[in-house]
Structure 1
Amino acid sequence: MAFKAFTQTRVFVKRAAPKEKDKSCIQCLECHGPNVYLGTKDATVQHLILPSAHGELGPVQSPAREGRMRKLGSSGPVVHLRTVPLFNHLLVLWDRGVSALNMFSLEPVPALPRIQHVSLFEVRDTPLAVQMLTASSRRKAIWLHVVGVDKWEAVKEIPLPQDPVAFALDGASLCVGTCNRYLLCDIQSGCTGELFPHSHSRERVFVASVGRGEFLLNGPESLGVFVMETGICQRPPLQWPQEVLAAGVCFPYIVALQPQALCVYSLLDQQHKLTLGLSGARGLLPVPDGVLVFTDRDISSLRLVPLEEQIQALVELESFEEALLLLDGVHSRRPIDSYKERQKAITCLAGFAHFYQEGFSEARDLFIKGELDPREIIHLFPGMRSLLCGDFQPQYDGVNKGRALQVLWQDDSSALHRYLAFLGEFLRAVSSTERGLRCGKEVDSALLRLYTELGDAENLQQLAEMPNKCLLDHCVPVLEQHNRYFALGSLYQSHGKHTNAIETWVKIADGFYKDPSCSDVYGHIVWTLSRLQDREAVWEFAEWTVRRNQEMGVRIFTLRPLDAQLEVLDVLALLEKYPRALILYLEFLIHDLNNEEERHHSRLALAYVSQALHEEADLRATRGKLQQLLWESRFYDVSAVHERVKSTALHVEEAIVLSRAGDHARALQVLVHQERDVRAAEAFCSRAARGRGSQRRRALLLSLLQIYLGSEQLAGAAADLLNRNPRVFRAETAVQLLPEAWSVQLVSRFLVGSLRESLHQRRTAKLRAALCRAELLRHKVIRMQASRTKLALDAEQKCSVCQGCFAEPQFARNPRGELMHTGCAGFLAP
């Protein structure tokens, strides 16, 4: 089927004797509604009446009914006709003058005298009046006339640089063609500007109004040029033949008349659409529903095919882009019913055309723009059709019928993968759109199946983890068939089936399922359980998790959010059989949750003791944690811990516990005689005195010194202790404790340091006393200077507080020098 924009009908044939043929040939046309007026070469105006509708007629049949005819004169052609329906006037240009006739009787209008010396004229309807522009045949000017029922009047003259050959009106803009150029004039201001030159003969110069302030000109180099009223071009020019006689606009087309043909161009994309044969054509007249074309003897009507039919014809010819262009362009001027739906449907059809040609990028964009139901694409893939609901009916099945993709895939094995890749890309693109969300189950299920079959593990896992609407009945067997058990667990989890998800992962970790897509399934299980809100599921798999790896498994309790912690006693009961996990959880309770319950602190301390007694690899780290806990915690049971460590080799820990019980001397005895570590004993004194002042440290070191002096083997340690701490021990106290056999040289460093410290303290005390005396003396000077000031008190002075007079010689004075009663001063005192 060929595309048709117009239907051609011959509406009038002028019959005449052969000898009159040249004299009565048609020169011009005018049309208003069913009324057609033709002007002939022999100064005759004839009225024709067209029927409201007509079909295809033969070449000699005439559907037009002939009306009146009027002979204007003996000679001279009728050059131009225009109707003024407001006044029922028919304006006729012949013999270089404009006459007014009645539209129906063709009788002259007596009140409107003939306007002489006119070469061209046009009529302009405005909201206020009917205006006519005439080109003078004697002067290079255009006259503006106001037309009334019984008069017309020239009101303005617009001078031109050259005589006009053709002109057209649009609003207040006038486009004029002269013998060698085109001009643009403003009727109101009279300003004239040159557009561009041309080299056409007078017969080839024409100007047509496109509407909305735009004109079409027969430009140079066989170009139809569009010019706006501002003088600029907003459309590309038309490329048409050199012998164009006239052109007109029948939206959305431009018709260009040649002697033997009528070329039709699109006003939307400036492309040639079709050519109609018209032998001997002389001129044309655009009408609302098409165009009238006349020769010397007949008139043909080219009626515009309804735009809906044109669009449908283009769709059937699979010219989808052209159909969309026509639909969008027409809708901008003539709103079409259900425009949006038709636009979407044609856009989708254009997408299918690209789809079958593997123009996947264009197809995807068109499908998205046309809001195509994703199920239409899923339906094209036979393996995916089981995902569609039974009530789905494809709208484009007729378009795709006979284009089974299996045929394409059989011819090209790689085509299957290209089409599947497009399916995934398209479904991803539409999954978040409104149309995609409406059928989210089918979209997500198709994507999951597609990723599984293509082996796209990354996208598969991402889809399974994120919230989705996959149909489990369809997707679970697919994942099991392809051994995608880790993704299966994630799919269960995203659908709220946490128990099924973890059971699946546990089977992977235990080796029942083989799925290499996740290298650390156990770590993923721990991470999942630590954030799972379903506590029953957590308890169901908690022991399996801890039994497999105590350090990792306990994280299902320690990594949980603070507002989702499990019952502490239940956790401790579970971890009773797993000592390493128990210690980690107790550390979490005490250090992270700041738990202050005595039983938990005591339990952690006893657990450290048990671990230290049985552990060999990391004994130092364990004892360090135990000592830190014993020093810093205030909540453990001292007696219970001491009972546990007193008969062990944990002497430092026993000393710490004894110190926490207040028995510092016994603690030092343990460190000195059992641990046999003098450095540890001295460090113990510093740690035990931390935050309690220097007096406590001095007392502890003094006790340690006495212990050292009580044993001959520790005499050297005692001397070293004195010499390292000369500022701590008082010389008079330490000397009394030293054995008489010790020489001064042995403790000389202690004595020098102690005396120097004593001297320093004495001098510091004297300096502090001197500063205090100076400060006291300064205050005394200020007081003496203030007491020597003389004040005069008379009977007129008043108290600054109560405003009363002074009746006694005693008074007070504030820092601002104001006088007041002593009672008022006491009242103001803080």
Structure 2
Amino acid sequence: MDHHRAYDTTLLIPGLDKVESFVAWEDFLLVSLTNRDLIKFQITGNHQKSKFQVKQIELKTKFTKKPITQMEVIKPIKKLLVRQGTAVEIYDLKTIQLEKALCSKKAVLFTYNKKKSLCIGTKSELWIFKWENGSFNKKHEIGLPDIPKTIDWFKANKIVIGLKKQYLLISLPNKTPVRLFSTGKNGIPISAKISNDEILLGKDKISIFKDSNGKAPRAYGINWEEPPLKIRYFPPYVIGFFLNKLRVRTLYSQNFVQDIKIKNPKLCFTLVNADNHNFGYVSNKKGVWRIDEIPLLFQIDMLSFEKNFEEALRLCELIPNLDQTKKNSKSKDIKQHYAIYLFSKRNFGRAMDFFQQSNCDPRVVLSLYPFLVSDKFDTQLKIPYFEQTELNNDEKQEAIFSLIEYLTQQRSIIQNRTFEDQENLLKVIDNTIVKAYIQTNYQLVKHFLKLPNSCDLEECEKLLQENGFDDEVIFLYQSKGKHAKALKTISKKANETSNIDELFEYLKILDENDLDLIFKYAHDIYKYDSLKCFNIFLNDNELQKNVKVNKKKKKKIRNLPRDKVKNFLEKNIPDLLIPYLEYIIYEYKDNTPDFNNHLLMLYFQQYGKLKTQIQNETDKGNLKRFVETQNEIKMKMNQFIKLTNDYQAEKMLSIFPEDDLFEERAIFLNRVKQHELALDIYINKLNNIESAEKYCTENYQSDGDTKDIYIIFLHQLILQLNKKNNSSSSSGIIINKDENNFNENEDQLLKMQLIINLMKKYYLKIDPLKIIPIIPKEFPISNLFDYFNLIIKNILKIKRRTVIQKNLHKSDFLNLSFKNSKKGSKSLMIDENTLCQVCGKRIGNSIIGKYPNGVVAHLSCIENKNICPKTKMDFSKNLNKYY
């Protein structure tokens, strides 16, 4: 039984039983009889109704000496090729008049290709002709080992020859035959050309595909139930000739299609394409038959109706000259119906594959799952109705698994498109996915809801609550931005269980848009864990800076406004304010002056409170603890003041006390460049000469505002010394010293020696004209001898250096003067006969240029002043050797 009808057959010319050969073109059929008559028919009619009119328009009796066994129409040149007996002749197609005999004997068959090349096979050779200048001209003669039975062109320069025992592939450039394979036991070569690069060759019951390189382009062949007498390619099918029928097979799947009941068909067959319709002719004892292709679209519909969907899809791809949009639409319709059919056969995975390929509306698929889609959305989205397939529980599970995979792919596709009903469709898909997970793998519900989704809040909330998915409801709220509802639920659970981990994790994902919620629930965390409460206010930029982030999925960095966080903590959780400010300043490197000022103020306030507590505390244990805490705060404050420059020192000076925290005050004074006051604190308040000296070393600039800082330092020491002697400082030095009149003690001597040592140590940084006037007159002149000695040596050193530099400059000047005079001494004589060595003309009164090698030229003739235009010598690198 036929799978479907691919062709209709009509006995076109009954009673014409002595047909030797025929050829068809347009609406003409030329028939050669065994009695050597030649008849030309014109055939008109409607192939769709299989009604034709046959008109004999010409009869040539005894047209040739022998019956015509092969004919071929060559449309481009309007010629008819004929083989009668062993001769090949060329006729005019219109008049059927002989023009030329190409081969008078030995010919056994011929073949022609679209490149206007003709191949005639004789008993031992191939003759190759080329149509040139209105005639066929012989180009090649190729020897053969046996008589050719079939000849087929491959492209323009390759020929496949079928001999009795084997097939050969011949390339015209080298003419060397290449053996393909044997013809089999029956020794009958059979061929059918598929395209310019593919052919079918018969071997007993098998037809084998070969390409122009002799390789098998397909992994299969066509198997026949018995060796065919002949095969022909009738796109898109292959037709095998047998004694009692013509059998139609598909080329792409080898499937049986149809048997055409024509008994004892002759081996003559011709194929015509007119108005995108394929038809052919074949003869037997009853006469000449016409074979008409049934329109492929109709064949496709028949295959779909018979549920042969895969064959319909293959055939759809082969429809020639069909608009791609229409072809896609047809393919989509077939795939959709095939998918529904597969679903009814419980082949859910393949069904979803074809639904995916058809790109159909997902609502078509959802209509097959009424147990998953709610009535609300069924009505809203007008889901199409299909006859429902009753599924048992196991089948439902399998069907749902396949649906989940399908919907997951579809939601990704739909999200990347924009259309009117997109939002509603995504709601249905995501709600259905949640239902499907609940029924198959409930653990995936949470994972799905953590991701951005289009679930309908009301519908999905109800669904989850009914099924006891309390945790999943929270993720639903989160995905929809309903953080207040989520936090309310989580906070209630936290108060019941005293477990704040979930609340903490949720608050950590909120950003500045939900700052009020963070502040609202921070208290709930602080009650149980102050450290976690502190962590919810930290941003992510520092936490993530050392983490490799996937660039394609870069997470948005959480960045809470620090000023608002600071204000909140100050009013509501002051215990966390200092740690927070320390963290953003030290870890985030925040240099906002307000934050830095505030932290210093908090240190100071805490220091002051502890100071009061220490003064009032009588318990030794508490007193020790307060002292340790105060020392810790003071150390942190001191370190902070030293390490950062981002606080406002002027403001801090007005706040910090003058009778306490002297070192910190000195640092503030340093920042505002009040060096004299700062040194006064180190010397007179802290009595720390080393710190004062270090201060000078760190701040000294030879050409800046602090070039006299060591003088200020020494002056402070001298003032301190004079105060201890209860005498005022005076200027000048007593040369005639009287040691008995100088009230000395050990401390004073040490102080005096310290001052002298510092003067000697930093003599290069101290202006002697500024330091001498402030030295007390009581200083013994002998103690200053070393200092003056260093000063004098340095002055002499500077003087010697200056003299040396002066003499060097003078020497350079003299050398340059000598070189200039030497250059000026060279003369150049230009007379009326002097010629430019570039253009050859007289110099005359023109401006000239002269090169170190003596070449003279007009200035206008010189292109590069460093390169001689005559010798091409480059003088730019070393001019000195020429002078």
TM more than 0.5: yes
Corresponding residue for 1:381? Answer: 369
Change (3 A) 1:611 1:349: farther
Residue 258 of structure 1 aligns with an amino acid whose one-letter code is: F
Alpha-carbon distance between aligned partners in 2 of 1:256 and 1:482, rounded to the nearest angstrom = 65
Corresponding residue for 2:573? Answer: 578
1:628 aligns with 2:636: yes
Cα distance, 1:523 vs structure 2: 0.8
1:43 aligns with 2:53: no
Alpha-carbon distance between aligned partners in 2 of 1:455 and 1:321, rounded to the nearest angstrom = 34
**Offset from partner CA, 1:255-307 (integer Å, 9 cap, x none):** 11122332322222444444444432232514232443322333333322211
1:264 aligns with 2:241: no
Cα distance, 1:122 vs structure 2: 4.2
Describe the SS at the equivalent of 1:488.
helix
Structure 2 residue aligned with 1:428, among 393, 403, 408? 408
Corresponding residue for 2:484? Answer: 499
Residue 527 of structure 1 aligns with an amino acid whose one-letter code is: K
Question: Which region of structure 1 is more displaced relative to structure 2, 352-361 or 364-373?
Answer: 352-361
Cα distance, 1:213 vs structure 2: 3.8
TM-score normalized with structure 1 length: 0.68
Change (3 A) 1:785 1:791: closer
Change (3 A) 1:642 1:287: same
Corresponding residue for 2:239? Answer: 255
Structure 1 residue aligned with 2:196, among 195, 212, 221? 212
1:142 aligns with 2:150: no
Alpha-carbon distance between aligned partners in 2 of 1:226 and 1:436, rounded to the nearest angstrom = 44
1:94 aligns with 2:91: no
Q: Output aligned runs, 1:303-702, within 5 Å.
A: 303-331=292-320, 338-352=326-340, 362-386=350-374, 388=377, 390=379, 392-394=381-383, 397-398=385-386, 401-404=387-390, 407-409=391-393, 412=394, 415-434=395-414, 438=422, 439-454=425-440, 456-457=442-443, 459-511=444-496, 520-529=501-510, 531-538=511-518, 540-541=520-521, 543-544=523-524, 546=526, 549-559=529-539, 568=563, 572=567, 575-576=570-571, 578-587=573-582, 593-594=590-591, 596-597=593-594, 601-607=600-606, 623-629=631-637, 632-633=640-641, 634=649, 691=695
**Conserved in 2, the CA contact under 8 Å of 1:372 and 1:435?**
no
Change (3 A) 1:156 1:628: closer
Corresponding residue for 1:160? Answer: 143
Alpha-carbon distance between aligned partners in 2 of 1:261 and 1:419, rounded to the nearest angstrom = 46
Corresponding residue for 1:30? Answer: 23
Residue 345 of structure 1 aligns with an amino acid whose one-letter code is: D
Residue 440 of structure 1 aligns with an amino acid whose one-letter code is: L
Alpha-carbon distance between aligned partners in 2 of 1:48 and 1:758, rounded to the nearest angstrom = 134
Describe the SS at the equivalent of 2:243.
coil
Corresponding residue for 1:183? Answer: 168
**Conserved in 2, the CA contact under 8 Å of 1:204 and 1:243?**
no
Change (3 A) 1:622 1:93: farther
1:736 aligns with 2:750: no
Corresponding residue for 1:11? Answer: 11
Change (3 A) 1:659 1:467: closer
Question: Which region of structure 1 is more displaced relative to structure 2, 471-480 or 419-428?
Answer: 419-428
Alpha-carbon distance between aligned partners in 2 of 1:63 and 1:48, rounded to the nearest angstrom = 10
Coordinate RMSD, CA, aligned? 5.6
1:283 aligns with 2:267: yes
Cα distance, 1:177 vs structure 2: 2.2
Describe the SS at the equivalent of 2:392.
helix
Alpha-carbon distance between aligned partners in 2 of 1:176 and 1:376, rounded to the nearest angstrom = 55
Alpha-carbon distance between aligned partners in 2 of 1:630 and 1:305, rounded to the nearest angstrom = 99
Describe the SS at the equivalent of 1:308.
helix
Alpha-carbon distance between aligned partners in 2 of 1:510 and 1:284, rounded to the nearest angstrom = 95
**Conserved in 2, the CA contact under 8 Å of 1:373 and 1:435?**
no
Alpha-carbon distance between aligned partners in 1 of 2:532 and 2:296, rounded to the nearest angstrom = 73
Cα distance, 1:102 vs structure 2: 7.7
Alpha-carbon distance between aligned partners in 1 of 2:468 and 2:578, rounded to the nearest angstrom = 39
Corresponding residue for 1:827? Answer: none
1:234 aligns with 2:244: no
Alpha-carbon distance between aligned partners in 1 of 2:2 and 2:743, rounded to the nearest angstrom = 126
Task: Give ranges in structure 1 of 5+ residues lacking alignment.
Answer: 17-23, 647-651, 671-680, 703-731, 739-755, 801-830
Q: Output aligned runs, 1:772-783, within 5 Å.
A: none
Describe the SS at the equivalent of 1:142.
strand
**Conserved in 2, the CA contact under 8 Å of 1:268 and 1:329?**
no
Cα distance, 1:617 vs structure 2: 9.2
**Conserved in 2, the CA contact under 8 Å of 1:506 and 1:522?**
yes
TM-score normalized with structure 2 length: 0.65
Describe the SS at the equivalent of 1:208.
strand
Alpha-carbon distance between aligned partners in 1 of 2:470 and 2:625, rounded to the nearest angstrom = 39
**Conserved in 1, the CA contact under 8 Å of 2:180 and 2:214?**
no
Q: Output aligned runs, 1:780-799, within 5 Å.
A: none
Cα distance, 1:490 vs structure 2: 3.6
Alpha-carbon distance between aligned partners in 2 of 1:667 and 1:763, rounded to the nearest angstrom = 27
Describe the SS at the equivalent of 1:233.
coil
Describe the SS at the equivalent of 1:72.
coil
Percent of aligned pairs with the same amino acid: 15
Residue 68 of structure 2 aligns with an amino acid whose one-letter code is: V
Corresponding residue for 2:863? Answer: none
Alpha-carbon distance between aligned partners in 1 of 2:760 and 2:415, rounded to the nearest angstrom = 93
Cα distance, 1:63 vs structure 2: 7.0
Change (3 A) 1:243 1:551: closer
Equivalenced residue count is: 709
Alpha-carbon distance between aligned partners in 1 of 2:236 and 2:415, rounded to the nearest angstrom = 33
Alpha-carbon distance between aligned partners in 2 of 1:355 and 1:375, rounded to the nearest angstrom = 15
Alpha-carbon distance between aligned partners in 1 of 2:99 and 2:81, rounded to the nearest angstrom = 13
Alpha-carbon distance between aligned partners in 1 of 2:561 and 2:484, rounded to the nearest angstrom = 18
